[in-house]
Structure 1
């Protein structure tokens, strides 16, 4: 592995035709590696990346809506019948012949774009996280590794020939271990698993989350659902944004997908840039973030 830290500024990154610190939130339709070069060094306090996991298969999700019908195929509450209406199918190809040639230059850009007190969260799964740890150690330095967060959930199919895989991995790196921002007071708290072992005051307040986060996925029938495959729950990203950025900070997601990061950032008074090249993702973000962000398309 030949990865090395990029210590010198990118000569093409001094100005951006679309982004400025005084400008609006942005949802950008662009190939991220080409657009990132237009952004200035050290511009973002927090970068969250949820790249394709290299599963080798097409990821898809279809919206479904239940509507009341006099002759529906399903029975519901109080004897009413309902019909299932299928909506648009969203999908993308999650297979790369050379995954690390794809990801490495984007991680180098993430290092460049982080402010000196900034933090990177890289969201992967068991297939690639160990290789990513080695690569990020090389780019950031091992002393800049802060945490590996395990997001544990309990939903979906159950394997019978091995332990069912029910977690994702989130690697957390800081630009400078002596300067990074972390606000534990701003983070939501969790119930104690054994509240009888602590004082009533502590039990009422709850405990600070550890590096294992128990949080359900986005329910296929829940209010958060957008129909986008691999959509992440807002509660998960709320912890990330609250802990590792301040109100008014600029934050970045350049594998933005359904725009959950942007939605959480806006709700917590952060300024954001969300980038994705998938027209389906841009369509979903336009509906979800159109009132709080400017939608732009990179032109060559």
Structure 2
């Protein structure tokens, strides 16, 4: 695999960890990660003991820790394996973001609170920007509890003093009570908040690629528009159907997409047109 900031957009087939490791520091303005929870890959369970350290990352109450993986595992032992898979990839993404860069980590609502603790340790608590709730109204329902109809997207910045965010570039939404606004404001709409009401990809719509975990283009367009500029490089290590690349291309950004699924790579190649496809380094 060869990548250059002056080279073409790239789709990489293979394990994303060696791909991330091979990329140079500070190469990307934006990284979006939508990792699978159940990867189907056998991994050995392991523990890392938290130790106090003056050189560590600030944790609860200002106390420094070298690692907080054990802390999360103490609350949910199932999470230890998942974080053992995800943590080194997020460490690489942190390295790959430039000084104005932003991470969007898209997770199931059942895992987001554990990830928040661990990302606070990796990025620093001051680098936490938002917890976005993507709410939708589709799928099976239950009458035994409030039906869960949202995903969580955690947003962290590389440098809380320098990150890029362009609210003016983001699509606007209708006011929920337009009668309370002036006609001009009602016609213009409002900036989105940290709760995004957006439908899923319609099973019968033109946007559907057939890939099972495809995310809506509208969600990724908003992320790319807000946190990058034309010409910037965007990274998606769990690219799936290639929605991040489609949004980046439509908005004049460059992209590197990675997925270990041959089906995903085939969908991306068809969706994104004349994109370069290469194999991950071993």
Provide TM-score, normalisation by structure 1.
Answer: 0.79
Bigger strand fraction: 1
Distance 1:281 1:122, change over 3 A: same
Retained in 1: the 8 A contact 2:18–2:281? no
Retained in 2: the 8 A contact 1:53–1:127? no
Q: In the aligned structure 1, how far is the partner of 2:217 from the partner of 2:152?
A: 17
The reply on whether 1:169 has 2:152 as its aligned counterpart is: yes
Give the superposed CA RMSD.
Answer: 1.5
Q: Secondary structure at the match of 1:37?
A: helix
Give the alignment partner of residue 125 of structure 1, picking from 108, 115, 120: 108
Distance 1:136 1:104, change over 3 A: same
Q: Map 1:110-259 to 2 at 5 A.
A: 110-259=93-242
Q: Secondary structure at the match of 1:288?
A: helix
Q: Deviations over 1:180-203 (max 9, x none)?
A: 000000000000000010100000
The reply on whether 1:47 has 2:31 as its aligned counterpart is: yes
Q: Deviations over 1:73-112 (max 9, x none)?
A: xxxxxxxxxxxxxxxxxxxxxx998111011111111100
Bigger helix fraction: 2
The reply on whether 1:31 has 2:15 as its aligned counterpart is: yes
Q: In the aligned structure 1, how far is the partner of 2:181 from the partner of 2:281?
A: 58
Runs (4+) of structure 1 exceeding 6 A deviation are none
Q: Secondary structure at the match of 2:267?
A: helix
Where structure 1 has 5 or more consecutive residues not aligned to the other structure, the ranges are: 1-16, 57-94
Provide TM-score, normalisation by structure 2.
Answer: 0.84
Retained in 1: the 8 A contact 2:94–2:158? yes
Retained in 2: the 8 A contact 1:40–1:113? yes
Q: Secondary structure at the match of 1:185?
A: helix
Q: Secondary structure at the match of 2:258?
A: strand
Where structure 2 has 5 or more consecutive residues not aligned to the other structure, the ranges are: 41-77
Q: In the aligned structure 1, how far is the partner of 2:244 from the partner of 2:281?
A: 24
Residue 290 (structure 1) aligns with? 273
Retained in 1: the 8 A contact 2:30–2:103? yes
